[in-house]
Structure 1
Amino acid sequence: MAGLTMKNILVINAHHPYPFSEGKLNQTFSNKAESLLKNKGYQVRTTQTADSYDVELELDNHQWADAIILQTPVNWMGVPWSFKKYMDEVYTAGMGGQLCEGDGRNSTQPKKNYGSGGTLTGKKYMLSLTFNAPEEAFNDQAEYLFKGKSVDDLFFPMHMNFRFFGMEPLETFASYDVMKNPQIESDLLRFEKHLNTHF
């Protein structure tokens, strides 16, 4: 994947702060992505969805970016509520052509091509996730919760949101067990290698 013709990267930090989780880890990953990519010659913009944001500016950021990195904790098997609010506001506002032309269907074939109206074709996205769950909880039929499902199975709806805009995935990165058994230094080294592989 290295050598893709990308120059503009949007890093979205979707962490929502709580007293037990201030967001230092996801900010560290966001900062690492920003500094590494800038050092490689990329133009980088950043957004923190828990802060105030301008919808039109966020739509412009999505159109400007060749690739989007979504840095997010996994809260209750999905993204934090403030990022869901961001999606509801920004992505809904982009349905008039900035992100997609409606849902891709037309009146002559109303039952076909749902989700094919994306206008961000040729652009990439990458999920970077922080889990309380250990890595061993995934991809193992014997494990209680996920029953053999992968990280990308869990985040299928998020993949579909980006596909709705016509975007294509880069390999997902995950940092596991960040509360009970954190391995931050090795995770950051893996993250750096991951970024260097795909950018």
Structure 2
Amino acid sequence: MSNFLIINAHEYYPFAEGRLNQTLVELAIEHLISKGHSIKTTTMKDGYEIEAELEKHQWADVIILQSPVNWMGVPWPFKKYMDEIYTAGMAGQLCNGDGRTSEAPKKNYGAGGTLQGKRYMLSLTFNAPAEAFNDPNEYLFQGKSVDDLFFPMHMNFRFFGMESLTTFACYDVMKNPTIKADLERFLEHLHRHF
């Protein structure tokens, strides 16, 4: 069985209280425990301690990042979390620097990760409809995918040597929500991967 760290990156706003992201976290916990996996969680609103988070990352075989998409990225508390935890982890807990050496200073940038063999999964909630992605005729994303939008996040995990699992997304959650179907799709997604 595997060890899972589930991070809930939601930031509360009066118009977005975080119920869907919390429900997805709870569903993941319930599913994974039923399969015999061990779970640790971190929720931005509850705060965190740097050393404890580094230990959780080292303990986990799989990290699930559950996050709403705010202004084309993760909420600011999770960005602060990354700046604090991931910078502290550059001393060997998550990576040994950036992977370059003085002998080859222009080669292997980002290849210093110490979490090889570990995996991560992004689970995202969007106000945007699914149809806004992968269509070159759509105004904003111009044919780009969700993973194109989240390329920097994928690179953060790759920097630590981790491998990605298929991204999950709930779309149009504010103007045209299909929560029941989303939760069913999420369970299928978890069952397929874990």
TM-score bracket for the superposition, by shorter chain length: over 0.9
Q: Does 1:89 align with 2:120?
A: no
Q: Secondary structure at the match of 2:157?
A: helix
Q: Displacement, 1:52?
A: 1.4
Give identity over the alignment, percent.
Answer: 71
Q: Deviations over 1:11-62 (max 9, x none)?
A: 0000011111111110000010011100110001110023211110000000
Aligned to 1:52: 47
Q: TM-score, normalised by structure 2?
A: 0.99
4+ long deviations beyond 3 Å: none
- From 111, 120, 140, the equivalent of 1:145 is 140
CA distance in 2, matches of 1:58, 1:117: 19
Structure 1 contact 118–163 (Cα < 8 Å) conserved: yes
Q: Does 1:114 align with 2:141?
A: no
Q: Does 1:33 align with 2:28?
A: yes
CA distance in 2, matches of 1:103, 1:50: 30
Aligned to 2:119: 124
CA distance in 1, matches of 2:27, 2:41: 12
CA distance in 2, matches of 1:68, 1:155: 16
Q: Secondary structure at the match of 2:33?
A: helix
Q: Does 1:190 align with 2:185?
A: yes
Q: Secondary structure at the match of 2:39?
A: strand
Structure 1 contact 12–69 (Cα < 8 Å) conserved: yes
CA distance in 1, matches of 2:15, 2:127: 13
CA distance in 1, matches of 2:19, 2:191: 23
CA distance in 1, matches of 2:81, 2:25: 18
Number of aligned residue pairs: give it: 194
Aligned to 1:168: 163
Residue ranges of structure 2 left out of the alignment (5+ in a row): none
Q: Displacement, 1:197?
A: 0.3
CA distance in 1, matches of 2:39, 2:174: 29
Aligned to 2:65: 70
Aligned to 1:3: none
Aligned to 1:178: 173
Q: Secondary structure at the match of 1:44?
A: strand
CA distance in 2, matches of 1:111, 1:163: 18
CA distance in 2, matches of 1:105, 1:64: 26
CA RMSD in angstroms comes to 0.6
Residue ranges of structure 1 left out of the alignment (5+ in a row): 1-5
Q: Secondary structure at the match of 2:123?
A: strand
